[in-house]
Amino acid sequence: MYIDTTTDRRGFFEHLYENTRHKLQDVTEQLELWQEQYKGSKKIDGSSEEASTVHNITYEIIESQIDSSIPAPKVDCRQYSEKNDRCAKSAERLCAALRQRLPFEELNDIDERYTYILGGSVWLVEWDDALVEGKERGGIRLTCLSPRDFFPQPNIYHIEDMEYCFLRFTTTREELSRRFGVSRADTTLASVEEEDGACAEGDTVTVIVCYYKDDEGEICRFVWSGDLVLEDKERYFHRKVDYCKECQARAELCSCARPVVFAKDVLWETPFLDIPLSDGTTIPAFSSCANANTPNFSQNQEGGFWKPTKLPYYTPKQFPIVIRRNTSCDKQLLGQSDCEFLRPAQQQINKVESRILQKLMRSAITPVVPEDAQITLSNQIFGQVIKLRPGESASDYGTVDTTPDISKDITQAERLYDHAKRLIGISDVFTGLDQSNLSGYSRELQLSRSAGRLESKRRMKHAAYAALDRLIFTFYLAYADEPRAITYKDENGRIHNACFNRYDFLTYDADTDTYLYDDSYLFSVDLNGTIEGQREVMWERNLQNLQAGTLGDPTSPATLLRYWQNQERVHYPFARENVEYFQSLVQQGQGILPPLPQPEEIPSYPDISSFPKKKGV
């Protein structure tokens, strides 16, 4: 992206931000309209009058689609080899471990509603060096953003094709001081946007983050709030080392009285110790070279020539943003919103329900009395005593029931509601409101057909999680210097220790005598892992398999052990105790245990002190 250097950078980005918001104004207004509709707005399109009551079918239909399951990661190697398969399993186990560490349950709950209401959600992936856990420094920070706080480049409908995009956050002035290192006095220059909904005189401020590409396609970042520039980093994903402009030494080694520090990109690392890999091999710190003409060579005691090994730093090449779409739409970054298709039915139902309420409010029981009756009418029950005059009859008094017939209005409202559900693909069986006398198999068949109509939305969710896993994987390749301890369960429910080592993904090219990172792995979703989230169904299926004899003799301890191992995988209560009990029976010779596949042997988590420390350029 071309940046006009004749003006100040903050002014340039602020002008670009305002121009982008102006071009996306129609989209922003639509998102606001759909959000109000989900919350039960009484507005009637094309009318200044509001509905007197709301039957919020939008909320009901959207909430019935919320899926609390989190897709399980799956990683495959593009070209099979023992090393590639081992690395693919390491990346898959890393992503699976992060499912437990990161607040995916909370983020998924937010993501589901953003997607159905607004047509999509925005995921931001960041590497935070401030996250420290034991000996591991740095980790992933995930944020699920509303599309109303995301401003993409106009007329570009894929995030990877954009030259720039903007994100909007609301934070406090204290957080600005902690995260960006600005003084408390300077935070007075920060401001809050009126559209952000925050108090301009309070302690909250609006922060704008711009990700953009330079002429070489590298990702850069510019952050500001009001008149305060918080961050301006070119080649944002490159490793940075602070140097002093005066003595050219690293900042921590500088002895100048008033050092002027600048950040310099570091592209290579030179280890001074051999790097152990997970397969038992090592990357040597030095390798032999032909003669003394090789740069940075050294000579050993035997007279041979050696050169230090140069390992590249991995650099992510894409925006740290993932877009989840509801359903795909032509020439649109986000997907189609359910509110957009439900709005006509929602508007009609609001009108019909308002008409029903008006009829009921106007209805009454009207008294009928003679013209010269000497009584006062009121709404009090038993508040009057009518004394008949001579010659009068009680039949001269009566009532007229003015209650209108609303049965047709109710029928029309129910008809519109059914039409709205069919439009989205929701049946009464799906929402749990079906009261028909159906067998269990018929009800399950209807439910599967109803869910099949929503399969496109599930596929979009799987695609978004696969993109998230790949982005997380690239961040660990780039910044996880220490091996990361992870645990996993094998097919028999046994827990194993392993580690993710980014050096395992280095490949040596003998033709160019260089090391390169191999990131050509295929990320997807394990559908079997998603099925395991339906615990009650799997519990019943496992019991059916045991009773049918598909696992072996149901009375054999070995078969029962296998059954309880399967139940443990789908988190059946107290399954672990039963597994241990039947394991003891098998070990005592009371049953014959079929040979179980041995898990892949993975070295234990290595001592970080044995790993090389990084040098400068």
What is the per-residue pLDDT across 8-23, written as a single tens digit (0 to 9) for each? 889 999 999 999 999 9
HSE-up of residue 566 (Cα within 13 Å, Cβ side): 19
What's the pLDDT tens digit per position in 605-614? 444 444 444 4
Q: Which of 298, 240, 300, 305 is nearest to 478 (CA)?
A: 240
Residue 150 is predicted with a pLDDT of 96
Interval 356-364 mean pLDDT: 81
User: What pLDDT does 5 receive?
Assistant: 57
**CB 73 within 8 Å of CB 95:** yes
Residue 436 has pLDDT above 80, yes or no: no
What pLDDT is recorded for position 154? Answer: 94
Range from 216-230, 299-313, 330-344, 381-395 carrying the lowest mean pLDDT: 381-395
Q: What is the distance between the alpha carbons of residues 221 and 212, in angstroms, rounded to a whole number?
A: 6
Return the pLDDT at 451.
Answer: 59
Mean pLDDT of 222-231: 93
Residue 604 has a pLDDT of 47
Asked whether residue 452 carries a pLDDT value surpassing 80, the answer given is: no
pLDDT band at 250 (very low <50, low <70, confident <90, very high): confident
User: Which range is least confidently modeled, 28-42, 414-428, 524-538, 583-597?
Assistant: 583-597
Asked if 315 contacts 330 with a C-beta cutoff of 8 angstroms, the reply is no
Q: What is the pLDDT of residue 330?
A: 86
- What pLDDT is stored for residue 299 in this prediction? 55
Residue 260, C-beta contacts closer than 8 angstroms, at least 6 positions apart: 244, 245, 246
Query: Given a cut of 80, is residue 569 above it in pLDDT?
Result: no
616: tokens are 């400068």
Q: Which of 387-401, 404-418, 600-614 shows the lowest mean pLDDT across its residues?
A: 600-614
Tell me the C-alpha distance between 448 and 88, whole Å: 33
Question: What pLDDT is attached to residue 375?
Answer: 62
What would the mean pLDDT of 197-217 be, rounded to a whole number?
Answer: 81
Residue 595 reports pLDDT greater than 80: no
pLDDT beyond 70 at 408: yes
Better-predicted residue by pLDDT, 481 or 435: 481
Question: Strand 261-266 relative to strand 239-244: parallel, antiparallel, unpaired?
Answer: antiparallel
Strand 261-266 versus strand 150-152 pairing type:
unpaired
> What was the pLDDT predicted at 369?
66
By the 8 A CB rule, do 474 and 314 touch? yes
Whole-number pLDDT of residue 385: 55
Question: What confidence score (pLDDT) does residue 597 get?
Answer: 47
Report the percent of the chain where pLDDT is more than 90.
Answer: 38
For residue 378, name the pLDDT band (cuts at 50, 70, 90): low
What is the rounded CA–CA span in Å between residue 92 and residue 465?
Answer: 13
Q: What is the tens place of the pLDDT at every residue in 543-565? A: 888 888 888 888 888 888 888 88
pLDDT tens digits, residue range 518-533? 999 999 998 766 555 5
Assign 438 a pLDDT band (cuts: 50, 70, 90): low
Residue 103 has pLDDT above 80, yes or no: yes
pLDDT of residue 532: 52
- Terminal Cα distance for the chain, rounded: 28
Measuring CA to CA, which residue among 88, 71, 89, 90 is closest to residue 484?
A: 90
Residue 90: what pLDDT? 94
Whether 433 has a pLDDT exceeding 60, the answer reads no
Band (pLDDT 50/70/90 cuts) for residue 295 is low
Query: Residue 495 pLDDT > 90, yes or no?
Result: no
Is the model more confident about 579 or about 91?
91
The yes-or-no verdict on residue 615 having pLDDT over 60 is: no
Position 305 pLDDT exceeds 50: yes
Cβ burial 535-568 (10 Å sphere, 16+ → b, else e)? eeebbeebeeebeeeebbeeebbbbbbbbbbbbb
Token pair of 355, please? 């008409």
Instruction: Pick 98 or 382 by higher pLDDT.
Output: 98
CA distance 81 to 200: 59
Task: Quote the mean pLDDT of the chain.
Answer: 82
Q: How confident is the model at residue 601 (pLDDT cuts 50, 70, 90)?
A: very low
When comparing pLDDT for 438 and 41, which is higher?
Answer: 41
pLDDT, residue 84, reads 92
The residue that leads in pLDDT, 108 or 512, is: 108
> 419 falls in which pLDDT band (50, 70, 90)?
confident
Highest average pLDDT, of 191-195, 266-270, 312-316, 605-609, comes from 312-316
Q: Decide if pLDDT at 141 tops 90.
A: yes
Reported as type and span, the H/E element at residue 360 is helix 338-362
